[in-house]
A and B are shown apart, each in its own frame.
Chain A
């Protein structure tokens, strides 16, 4: 009896370090699985499962206000969507915002980057002037610019008045409200574009410009034949990410106009939110989200293909 107990104790003592070492000697592959596990769980819980559920829900009549249980509806939600003028209007607004603000932010950002690339005695104020708009929450930017474009006390109309023009009642007209939103988005996002382009600018070797100088190429020609072509990769990446975020536009119009007047400045994201949170119509909200998902994934597919061809 006694011997057995002693034997067992020694066995346990020896087994423990042995197990511990085995744990340390995990093959790279098992360790990798272990390390990637938390990220995989989070992605599965917050993205993979919800996406599957989204597609599933979009085939159901599921409205929390009706109190009725979910009922399979087939393509009803999608049929409803095709005949829904608000869906088309909000989608068109989203596409229009993307088509205006992405190139707009690129042009402004390119200008800002070229200016920020000049040599200044002090770098930090310049850097800060690009970082502050980036770090400012979109919702704050929406409120700040709503105040900027205020018809009576707004600084924009004040400047217009001082220059001898009549002030504009920005938020009463669909077109002016839309313009104000686009200007705000361009301001908010151009600084980020500028930061990315600036990083690209600083990788261009100075010698290229010196050689061009020797060859007698003017500044403008240098810009179009050296600067722009070499900037192309960083510009393309910035453009794609901006396009994807532009398709999701919510905060700025929500804060500035609430989608008004009427639904003239409402975006697809706002319509999804409205159907989900205000009307609690989860089935229809899901169908709308599936459309946005598809739009967004198309852009991502282009992006992935470009990365792959680059490698």
Chain B
């Protein structure tokens, strides 16, 4: 089931002025908070505290960005977030491709039961695992390591990615694999040389979903990795707050730096993300 936001045809609203108003509301609703943070990050302290507050920065400055990197090791937070998200995405994809292939292609006796279990796991509250995972990570000496986050993040995205990939794999004709196997490919060879490349857009979408999930996660990162050199971005951003002061322009700059990578990802792959979200990745 692939779906793009084609021009709407079934709405009960129509008319050109109405469309303009709707577009305005949609854009303001979606973009204004991010824009406001961008504006704040470009303002000087004097402009920020002027009354009434100015909406557009009149004397834009990059000083806050410089300070965001010098006050705290923002590049370290970025690097940690990026590596943890990337590695857990890779692991999620590998494990879910294998599982999804088994579920889509091999005639399993308990297929229905396994799928129900996967759906049940996808609704699992990660918060409840905080205590036991904390104990396990402590016992394995994994607190303050990427691994302490990569493993839970992989499991966080595994169900959704598997369900998505099952639906994508089922859309590929079996004949293509059979032909490859007759040509001497092994079954696994056929999976990685034929099925996965044909489902590349789907695999990619699942990957973006896993990446965004990991990039966003806060509670486990906050609880497991408190060592400054291992903090991820959402956790590190809190450190800008002083005991009494809250340097909003600098925090805004750090937030902008954190939003940009995902925003770029979304801008480039928006159609795929939408189709993936609606195809099987029902989780928000």
Residues of chain A whose beta carbon lies under 8 Å from any beta carbon of chain B: 24, 26, 28-29, 31-32, 35-36, 38-39, 42-43, 45-47, 49-51, 53-54, 57, 112, 114-120, 123-141, 143-145, 147-148, 150, 152-153, 155, 158, 161-162, 187, 189, 191-193, 195-196, 198-199, 201-206, 208-209, 219-220, 222-223, 227, 237-238, 240-242, 244-245, 247-248, 250-251, 254-255, 269, 272-273, 276-277, 282, 285-286, 289-290, 292-293, 296, 299-300, 303-304, 307-308
Contact = CB atoms under 8 A, between A and B. Distances in A.
B70 interface: no
A141 B33 contact: yes
B10 A204 contact: yes
B125 A125 contact: no
A202 B151 contact: no
Contacts of B26: 112, 115-116, 126, 129-130
B7 A123 contact: yes
Contact of B13 (A24, A128, A219, A289): A219
Main secondary structure of the interface of B (DSSP, over half): helix
A301 to B, nearest CB: 9
B53 interface: yes
B132 A54 contact: yes
Given A120-B19, A124-B270, A35 B98 contact: yes
Contact of B130 (A45, A115, A289): A289
Contact of A118 (B13, B123, B237): B13
A46 B8 contact: no
Given A46-B154, A137-B233, A144-B34, 17 more contacts: A24-B187, A36-B103, A38-B99, A46-B155, A47-B129, A50-B133, A131-B270, A134-B284, A193-B284, A196-B278, A199-B278, A202-B8, A205-B10, A206-B9, A292-B128, A307-B116, A307-B119
Given A43-B121, A282-B131, A289-B128, A195 B277 contact: yes
Interface in B200-248: 212, 215-216, 218-219, 222-223, 233-234, 237-238, 248
A28 B5 CA distance: 39
Nearest to B6: A202
B241 to A, nearest CB: 10
Contact of B102 (A31, A128, A139): A31
Contact of B187 (A31, A136, A161): A31
Interface stretch (B61-69, B71-79, B171-179, B260-268): B260-268
Contact of B106 (A29, A133, A251, A293): A29
B59 interface: no
A293 B131 CA distance: 12
Nearest to A38: B95
B132 A50 contact: yes
5 tightest A-B contacts by CB? A129-B30, A192-B284, A117-B8, A50-B132, A199-B278
B223 A125 contact: no
Contact of A129 (B14, B27, B151): B27
Contact of A42 (B11, B102, B154): B154
Contact of A132 (B11, B186, B263): B263
Contact of B99 (A28, A36, A126, A205): A36
Nearest to B27: A129
Interface size class of B (residues with CB under 8 A): 35 or more
Nearest to B265: A135
28 contacts: A29-B109, A31-B187, A38-B95, A42-B158, A46-B151, A47-B121, A50-B136, A115-B23, A120-B23, A127-B5, A129-B29, A131-B30, A132-B263, A134-B284, A135-B263, A136-B259, A145-B33, A161-B52, A191-B29, A195-B274, A227-B12, A241-B284, A245-B284, A254-B218, A269-B219, A286-B132, A289-B127, A292-B128
Q: Among A145, A222, A269, find the residue whose CB has the most chain B CB atoms closer than 10 A.
A: A269
Nearest to A289: B128
B130 A47 contact: no
B271 A248 contact: no
Contacts of B8: 116-119, 201-202
A39 B215 contact: no
A248 B125 contact: yes
A114 to B, nearest CB: 6
B10 A126 contact: no
B52 A158 contact: yes
B255 interface: yes
Given A195-B278, A209-B10, A282-B135, A115 B22 contact: yes
A20 to B, nearest CB: 9
A54 B10 contact: no
